[in-house]
């Protein structure tokens, strides 16, 4: 049996860090590409003034547009396929409700 733990963790610094990172990714002058762990839950991000669609955002379209997207999740790449790449199956997050 676990004892009563009266120690609390201050989550404010963690939330401040996360909010800072998220707001930076949503700025139009951002010049960094987010890690796959972030991209798998978010449909897009800004990169040097351009809105970039992530693997998750492209997969939500259900078919490759064949326009050479940076984060194309389909196999073969940029082919108009509707088959997800094997390395992404089960890795892309899906949420209930609107995301944009």
pLDDT of the residue at 27: 67
Q: How confident is the model at residue 9 (pLDDT cuts 50, 70, 90)?
A: low
- Residue 65's alpha-carbon distances to 11, 21, 43, 76, 83, in angstroms, are 41, 30, 15, 12, 12
Q: How confident is the model at residue 15 (pLDDT cuts 50, 70, 90)?
A: low
What pLDDT was estimated at residue 29? 65
By the 10 Å C-beta count (0-12 exposed, 13-18 middle, 19+ buried), 39 is classed as buried
| Model pTM score | 0.62
pLDDT in tens, 43-100: 888 888 888 898 988 988 889 999 999 999 999 999 999 998 888 887 776 544 444 4
Cα(9)–Cα(27) distance, integer angstroms: 30
pLDDT confidence of residue 20:
67
């Amino acid at each position: 049996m676990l004892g009563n733990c009266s120690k609390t963790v201050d989550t404010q610094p963690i939330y401040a860090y996360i909010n800072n990172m998220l707001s930076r990714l949503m700025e139009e002058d951002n010049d960094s590409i987010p890690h796959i762990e972030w991209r798998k839950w978010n449909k897009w991000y800004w990169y040097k003034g351009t809105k970039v669609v992530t693997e998750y955002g492209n997969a939500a379209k259900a078919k490759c547009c064949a326009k050479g997207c940076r984060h194309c999740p389909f196999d073969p790449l940029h082919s108009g396929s509707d088959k997800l790449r094997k390395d992404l199956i089960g890795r892309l997050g899906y949420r209930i409700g609107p995301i944009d």
